[in-house]
Structure 1
């Protein structure tokens, strides 16, 4: 994916976390009344940042995420936060009902993460500035997965708990990133890509409204 001139957003958009930017691939509704595909996951012809070649690579990358990472997160959620998983499945169902077959969850099924989360943040290096993820749901875990090999640094740091935790390639760490101040130590050598899988709180809150819209549409069709 990175080899296709993948376009990251400007670092200034993520300046409270790091000196480098992160791309967000998936669905959210930060400032919209309905869920939208993030700009980083859309082509330039549909108002996004990426070339068509890069979109194909993103789809392949997210297919790998669905095959290998989503099952691990779903398993952890069933054990650690079953109520959150149930709520996520409701949100997923509401989003799927809201859109026709011609729209994104059918034409780009790689953007549907089976209710485990709604979006993946992709970043090279680390988020070395202490921060809270204000847009995350305060009662649900975000899931952090570093990939690559041969790097040093990049430990997960949570000063409130006095923790500094090394994360090995392919390991999955869950944290309440809206409540827990956190950062990663600087990557001092090698190449490290970190994936953070999350659901923004705005999208989770709006699911009931979308359910009402779906019912209203169905009622008008019946009439």
Structure 2
């Protein structure tokens, strides 16, 4: 299982990563909220310090919950009932008060994963007609033949395919898939070109422009299977 730890304190983060890896968890560190928002989609679990240097941890959780049901365990140095309530209301699955024991953390991880495993097993593979997207292996198959895609091409395709009825603007795709913050909502020509290039490459690899539909004046949506 892949775990992302969002922890700004380098010593604490490295210690937690070492403990997690000893217990068989593939663990990486993000030391900012922006880093967590930019990479959480590649992981199965997020352990989130609510006291991040750039973005409020509760806001990080709220932002993730708009597009993902990844399990989130938050931890904070504030142990009041209100803090725990706000944490859960923001979308966290559990909340720990620092300092906490590593055994307790592992027990809570196991409890959460037991609870969500049936849901996760249903959702880890996306299928749309002949197109299959394996989120665990990060592989794409079309008519049972693997389509070789880059990391960002996979992220873009699975993001669109996971919400096939939604039209996403280029700004939304840059924020959700690339994790980029766009000052004032401005989308520069270079950024727009990056998205258009990835869309074009995916269409070529999938053999049809109908898998990703351009909605003029708005952005893109997943095309479904009726055209293929």
> Could you tell me the TM-score, scaled by structure 1's length?
0.26
Larger Rg: 2
Structure scoring higher RCO (CA < 8 A, sep ≥ 6) equals 1
TM-score, length-normalised on structure 2? 0.26
